[in-house]
Amino acid sequence: TDADGFVDISGDGGVLKKVAVAAPAGARAAKVGDTAAVHYTGTFPSGEEFDSSRRKAHRKNGFPFCVGAGQVIRGWDVGVATMKVGERADFKLRFDYAYGENGIPGRIPAHADLWFDVELLGIEAAAGEADEGQDETLALPAPGEGGEGGAGGEGGEVTTITVGGQAIKMDKLGPIVVNSDGSLSRISNWPTMNEQERQTALRLIAKRNKKRLEGQG
C-alpha cells in the first residue's frame, strides 16, 4: 500500500487500486467470464478528464463488457476482476496496462498512464452471453470501419482459424469480433496480451459465436 492508500493488484506496479466505496455485505464478486456493467470516469494524472460513461445518455445503465476477454484495456480486466457489485474504486494504470506505447492518436497520448474511477453496477454469470456493445474509447473499430482510433484497414490479410468448432477471422491485429448487430469490434489490447490471455479470449469469442448461432436457429 502506498502513501495514498493504493494497493498493487497486478504484482508489478502496473495496476494500483484504492476502494472508494466498499460493496455491501454479501455482494457478489466479479470473475473472469462474467459480463460486468460499470460506470467509469477516465482522467490523465493531471486530472484532465478524457472519457466518462456518466456523461453519455446511451450509457445510463453503465458500460458492459466480458471480464477477462480482452474487450477492454488490460488494466480493466485486472481491476474489475477484483471488485464486488456495489463497489466503487479508483485505479491507476501504467501505460502498458492502458493503451500502450502507441496510445490512440488524437485522444490518448503514447505511453500515457491513466486513472479511472470505476463503479461495478452489476454482473451476469459467465454462463450467459456477454453483451456485444463496444465503447468508442475502450475498443478499436475493425479494419475498414474507420472512426477515431480505428484500425483503418491496417490489419492486412485475413485468415480464419477454428476454436471449439467455431470459425474466427484473424489478421495481424488479432481476432475480428462480429457482434450480434453485425458490427465489428476489436480486442484493443491484443498486442500486449500473453499467449494464455489470448487463448482465453479466443475461447470466449468462440463460445459467444456458438450461442449467437444457436439463437438464430
Q: Give the C-alpha separation, 99 to 71, whole Å.
A: 13
Torsions phi, psi for 58 (to 5 deg)? -75, -5
Helix (H, G, I), strand (E, B) or coil at 214: helix
Question: How far does the chain reach from its first CA to its final CA, in angstroms?
Answer: 52
C-alpha cell at 57: 445518455
Side-chain-side CA neighbours of 24 within 13 Å: the count stands at 5
Q: Which residue has the cell 479470449?
A: 201
The bridge status of strand 174-178 relative to strand 184-186 is antiparallel
Residues classed as catalytic: 40, 50-51, 73, 99, 116
Q: Give the C-alpha separation, 187 to 88, whole Å.
A: 25
